[in-house]
Structure 1
Amino acid sequence: MTSPGRRANAGRTQEFLVTHAPVLSIASFFLIVCVFFGLTTDAFLSAPNLLNLLRQSAPILIVAVAMTFVITTGGIDLSVGSTLGLVNALAAIALAAGIPWPIVVMMMLLLGAGIGAFNGFFIAFEGIPAFIVTLAGLSAIRGIALLITEGYSVPIASSLFFVEIGRGWLFGIPFPAIIALIVAIAGYITLGHTTFGRYVTGVGANAEAVRRAGIAVRRVTLTAYVLTGIAAAAAGIIIAARLGSGSSNAGVMFELEVIAAVVLGGTNLFGGRGTIIGTVLGALTIAVISNGLILSHISPFFTQIVTGAIILAAIWLNTRLLQRAQSLRVG
C-alpha cells in the first residue's frame, strides 16, 4: 500500500513535470538537434563554427528576451524586424555623416524606444489590438527605411570602432554573444524576481483583476513594447556593425524567428506565462537549425519552412500542456 508521503511526492513530481514541460521539451529538442548535426556534419561542433553560431544568434536572442515580456502580457510585436531595418540603415547613414559612434548608438536606442512607445500607446491607451498596430508598424517603418535609402546599402568604414560591436571579441567570446548573455540574465531576473515581472505575468493572466488591485495595467503594457523597441534597435546596431553596412532590407522575416523562439521556448502565446530560459533555448534552437541546414548543404530557404512548422507545433504543444496542467490542478 502506498504511503501518503510517497503519494504526495509523486504528485509534486508530476506537477513539476507538467508545469515545466515546455522548457524540458525544448531543452531535449535542442540537445537532439545538436547531436544530429554533430553526427551528420563535420564542422558543426568545431570551435569556430560554435562561436560563429553564438555571434549570429545574438540579435534574435536579444529581441526574443524582450518579446517574452510582450507575449506574456498577451500581446505581440510584429514590427521588430522593420525597426531593426530602419535602425540598421540610419546608423550607417549617421556614421557616414561623421557623427561619433557613441552618439549614434544612443540615438538609435532612443529611436527604438520611441517606436516601442508609439506602438504601446495605441495598444495600451487606445485599445487597438496589438496585432493591428504592430502590423501597421511593420509596413510603415519598413517603408520609411526604404524611402530613406532608396533600397541601397550604406557602407560603414571598417576603421570605425563601431564595427567592434558586431565583430569584436572579449575573453575569447564574440562581443554580441556577451551582450546577449547580459540581456538574457537581466530578462530572467526582471521577469521572475521583480515586481514588474509579476505585473507582466498578471496582465497576461487576468488584466482586469490586476487593474482592480490598483496596478497601472496600461503603463506595464506600454513598458513591455518600449523594451521590444529598444531590443530591436540593439539588434539592428549589432547586425550593422557585424556586416559593415546598413540596409533597409535587414531584418526581413526577423519577427517570425523571434516569435518562434519565444513560443518554442514555452511562453504561452495567449499570455500569462513566460520563461526566459525557454526563450534562450528556443533562440539557440532556431540558430542551430539554420546553421546545421547550411552545413548540410541544404537551401537556406528551407529554414523558413522549418520555422513555420516549429511555430505551429509549439503552439499546439503549449496548448495541450497548458490544458493538462489546468486539469491536473483541478483534479
Structure 2
Amino acid sequence: MSSAVQAESGEIREAKKTNSLLSIFKYREMNILTVLIIIGIFISLFSPYFLTMNNIMGVTRSVSITAIMAIGMTMVIITGGIDLSVGSVMGLASLMTALSFQHGYPTVVAIAVGLIVGVVSGLINGLLITKVNLPPFIATLGTLSIGRGLIYIITEGFPITPDVPAAYSFIGQGYLGFVPLPVVAMLILMVVFTVIMSRTRYGRHVYAIGGNEIAAKLSGVKTDRTKILVYVLSGTISAVAGIILFARLSSAEPASGFGAELDVIAASAIGGASLSGGYGSIVGAIIGAALIGVISNGIVLLNINTYAQQAITGLVILIAVSIDMWRSKRKG
C-alpha cells in the first residue's frame, strides 16, 4: 500500500514539474526566445559563419541601437500609445552632439546637448497628447516630420564629421572584455527599466493606464503626469541611442534614424507588447530586436535577396500581432 502511495506521490511531483515547465512557455517572452533559438539553429545549419564570435558580436552591436530605442517604445505602447518620432529624435540628438563637438564644446556638454534634445522632444509629445488631446499617432507623426525637417535644414543634406575625443569614440567602438560597449549599455538599460516597470509604483501605474485609463484615474493615478514622463523617457532613450550611434560612426548623417521607428515598433510588437496597451516587457522588446537582427544577418549569410528582409520582418510582425489578438479574444 505504501509503495502505491509513494508511486502516486511521485507521479504528482512529476506532473507538477511538467506543469511548472509548461507554465514558463505561457510567457510571450519565452515563446519569442524559442523562435529566436530555432531560427538561429536553422541558419547555423546552412552557414558555418553564423555562430562565430565575430559574427555574433557584430549582430549584437547592430541590434543594440534598435533594442535601446525599443525599451522606450515598449513603455509607450504599454500605456496604449505610440511614438513615431524615435527615429528623428535619434538622428537629431546625434546631429546636435556632432555640432557641439564641431564648435569646440567638451564631451560632457556635447552629450548633455544630445540628451536635452531627447527630453524636450519627449516633453512636447507628452504635452500634445495629454494637454492638447491629440492622438499619439498624430502628435508623434508631427514631431517626426519636424525633427526630420530640422535635420535636413541644419545639414543641408551633408554629413557632419567633426573631430571627437578618443574617449567619446570608445563609447561606440570600444569593448568591455569581448562585449561591445553599445551592448553593455543596452543590457544596463534593460536591467534598470525592467526593475522600474516590475518593482516600482510608477511601473504599476504605466500598466494600469494601458489596462484601463479611466479606472486608473479614478483609483488615484496621475495619468497625465505618468504619460508625459513615459514620452520623456522614450525621447531620452532615443537620444542615448543617437549619442551611441554617433560615437560609433564619428559622423552624423542626414538620414540617420530614417525609418528606424518601424524596426523599433516591430521589436516591441514581436517581443509581446500589446498594441492595445496594458501588456509588454522590456526583456521581450530586447528579444524582439534580436530576432529582427538575426533574420537580417541570416538573409545576408544565406545569400537571400536583401529586399526580402522587409517582407520577412513584416510577416513576423503580422504573425506576432495576430497571435496577440487571438490570445486577447481567448481571454475575453
**Shared fold, TM over 0.5:** yes
1:85 aligns to 2:91 (yes or no): yes
How far residue 135 of structure 1 moved from its aligned partner, in angstroms, is 0.8
Candidates 298, 303, 310, aligned match of 1:304: 310
- Tell which structure's C-alpha radius of gyration is larger: 2
Following TM superposition, by how much is the alpha carbon of 1:51 offset from its aligned partner in structure 2, in angstroms? 1.0
Residue 131 of structure 2 corresponds to residue 125 of structure 1: yes
- Map of 1:233 onto structure 2: 239
Q: Distance in 1 between matches of 2:250 and 2:159?
A: 10
Partner of 2:184: 178
How much does 1:122 deviate? Answer: 0.8
Residue pair 2:78, 2:277 contacting (<8 A) in 1 also: yes
Name the residue aligned to 2:74.
68
- What percent identity do the matched residue pairs reach? 35
Q: 5+ unaligned residues in a row in structure 1: which ranges?
A: none
* Partner Cα separation in structure 2 for residue 315 and residue 194 of structure 1: 28
Contact 1:61-1:258 within 8 A present in 2 as well: yes
Question: 2:228: which partner in 1?
Answer: 222
Partners of 2:123 and 2:62 in 1: CA distance: 28
Partner of residue 112, structure 2: 106
Matched with 1:56 is 62
Alignment coverage as a number of residue pairs: 322
| 1:208-287 alignment runs, 5 A limit | 208-287=214-293
- For residues 67-104 of structure 1, give each alpha carbon's deviation from its aligned partner in whole angstroms, at most 9, with x where no partner exists: 11100000000000011111122222221111111211
Offset at residue 211 of structure 1 (A): 0.5
In 2: Cα distance, 1:166 partner to 1:235 partner: 10
Q: Distance in 2 between matches of 1:77 and 1:148?
A: 23
Separation (CA, whole Å) in 1 of partners of 2:176 and 2:262: 30
Query: What is the aligned counterpart of 2:39 among 33, 39, 43?
Result: 33
Letter of the 1:173 counterpart: V
| Structure-to-structure mapping, 1:164-203, within 5 angstroms | 164-203=170-209
- Among 15, 23, 26, which residue is 2:29 paired with? 23
**Residue pairs, 1:317-328, within 5 angstroms:** 317-324=323-330, 326-327=331-332
Query: Distance in 1 between the 2:268 and 2:248 partners?
Result: 24
Q: Deviations over 1:48-73 (max 9, x none)?
A: 11111111111111111111110000
CA contact (8 A) 1:88 1:248 kept: no
Measured at CA, do residues 45 and 123 of structure 1 come closer, stay the same or move farther in structure 2, by a change above 3 Å? same
C-alpha separation between the residues in 1 aligned to 2:165 and 2:302?
35
Question: CA-to-partner distance for each residue in 1:248-274, whole Å, 9 max, x for gaps?
Answer: 201111111111111101111110111
1:158 and 1:122, CA in 2 relative to 1: closer, same or farther beyond 3 A?
A: closer
The CA deviation at 1:231 is 0.9
Equivalent residue letter for 1:110: I
Q: State the secondary structure of the residue aligned to 2:212.
A: helix
Contact 2:107 2:165 in 1 (8 A): no
Q: 1:196 and 1:245, CA in 2 relative to 1: closer, same or farther beyond 3 A?
A: same
- TM-aligned CA distance change 1:206 to 1:15, over 3 Å: farther
Name the amino acid aligned to 1:246: A
Q: Do 1:18 and 1:321's aligned partners in 2 also have CA atoms closer than 8 Å?
A: no
Change in 2 beyond 3 A, CA 1:168/1:94: same
Cα deviation, residue 145, structure 1:
0.4
Question: TM-score, length-normalised on structure 2?
Answer: 0.91
Q: Distance in 2 between matches of 1:147 and 1:187?
A: 35
1:221/1:84 CA distance change after superposition, 3 Å: same
- Going from structure 1 to structure 2, the CA distance change for 1:287 and 1:113 (only over 3 Å counts) comes to same
Q: Is 1:47 the counterpart of 2:53 in the alignment? A: yes
Task: Give RMSD over aligned pairs.
Answer: 2.2
Task: Give the structure-1-normalised TM-score.
Answer: 0.91
